[in-house]
Amino acid sequence: MAPQTYIQTINSLTPLQRKIILFSKYKSLELDIKNYTALPSLLRQELNDHQFSLLSIELVRLFYSNDKQTVKALFRTYSGDLFESVLMRYEDGRNSACVSSMIGCPLNCSFCATGKMGFTANLDEFEISDQVIFWANFLKKEKEKITNVVYMGMGEPLLNLDNVLNSIKIITDKNYFGLGQKHITVSTAGIVKRIDQLTLSDFNGNLAISLHSPFQKIREEIMPIAKLNKLSDLMDSVYRFEESKKTRITLEYILINGINMNESDANKLADITKGHNFLVNLIPYNKVAGCDYKRPSNNQVFKFYRLLKSLKINVTLRLGMGYDNNSSCGQLTTINYDKFKKISTTES
């Protein structure tokens, strides 16, 4: 068996052998090929001799937050590229896997470290779904389970829509991982045509919009993609998704000092959300190297939160989860990890 990528190896097997591997991997979370006794012993030995990994991604390093609630993983693909993924553990028992869909990101949002990397490649369906399996296996050792998956890691999920949807099929298949679609959230910076494609797809999970301002001009300043996707068109596409899927929409809103926390912002948010099943999720800006934005004080944050509440807006506030290990919103990047890269020995 010549060196080959994960997908090439999987595709070289018989349909029955593939089914056995995928069932054991996704259903039983078994990641040691030697324990796949339903496979011929010769095949197991051959796969083991060629160092075939049941995961299409390789763990390089784990980073823990001080409170252990957030764990960040640095992964390497078969091609040698690096990316990050995050496990968020909540006090109410929820465990959310925050998965990446790209290596880097082409959107270059001004507050985001991932965007400063530029775009390297899309992750394939297994490289995405295997992040969930890694975290599920991680939790299995502590007798816990993944309860939610959020496509909010590195990259713009809707620009890699086919692989994202295929990965969702894998992790929601009742014969495999079996996670309910209502426990999955796909996030987007607001690409109108792709939201409409998602609306027409079989996806029946949740949608999160990186809004960050209710005004077109400000969105264009902090999110270049907004120049090609007008706010009015964006909200129309979101309303269509809401009506079609009958689900709540989350509007992610990073609080940047002096940029998007005025009374006019609050009033405009009230206009946008009125009559709709929306949740505004406030996230104080997380420091990113090379960015001059300032994080607001806690007093400013709570003042804006209370203002939204007074306007009858359904709002939540997320303070600091993963901030001390650079795994908070907008902080994922591999710029400083060149020493972990390696030249790939796989065939293309």
Instruction: Kindly report, residue by residue over 274-298, the tens digit of the pLDDT.
Output: 999 999 999 998 887 778 889 999 9
Element (H, E) at 140: helix 125-140
Residue with tokens 């890699």: 160
Does residue 30 carry a pLDDT above 80? Answer: yes
pLDDT 10s digits, 236-271: 999 999 999 999 999 999 999 999 999 999 999 999
348 band by pLDDT with thresholds 50, 70 and 90? very low
Q: What percent of the chain has pLDDT over 90?
A: 74
Predicted local distance difference test score (pLDDT) of residue 340? 62
| Total count of residues recorded for the chain | 348
Active site residue 221: no
Please give the pLDDT value at position 136: 97
Instruction: Please name each of the domains of the chain with its CATH number.
Output: 56-340 (3.20.20.70)
State pLDDT tens for residues 179-191.
Answer: 999 999 999 999 9
Give catalytic status of residue 109 as yes or no: no
pLDDT bracket for residue 339 (50, 70, 90): low
pLDDT value of position 51? 84
Which entry of 98, 105, 112, 329 is annotated as an active-site residue?
329
Please pick, among 30, 46, 84, 98, the residue that the annotation labels catalytic: 84
Q: Which of 331, 204, 330, 187 is nearest to 251 (CA)?
A: 187
Nearest Cα neighbor of 46 from 62, 33, 55 is 33
Mean pLDDT of 85-110: 94
DSSP string, 250-288: EEEEEE-TTTS-SHHHHHHHHHHHTTS-EEEEEEEPPP-
pTM: 0.90
pLDDT, tens digit, for every residue of 146-158? Answer: 999 999 999 999 9
Q: Once rounded to an integer, what is the mean pLDDT over residues 41-70?
A: 90
Q: Is the pLDDT of residue 334 over 90?
A: no
Query: Cβ of 14: how many Cβ atoms within 10 Å?
Result: 9
pLDDT exceeds cutoff 70 at 272: yes
Using the predicted structure, report yes or no on whether residue 77 has a pLDDT greater than 80. Answer: yes
Give the residue-averaged pLDDT of 85-104.
94
What is the arithmetic mean of pLDDT over 327-334?
A: 58
Q: What is the mean pLDDT of residues 150-178?
A: 96
Strand pairing partners for 102? 122
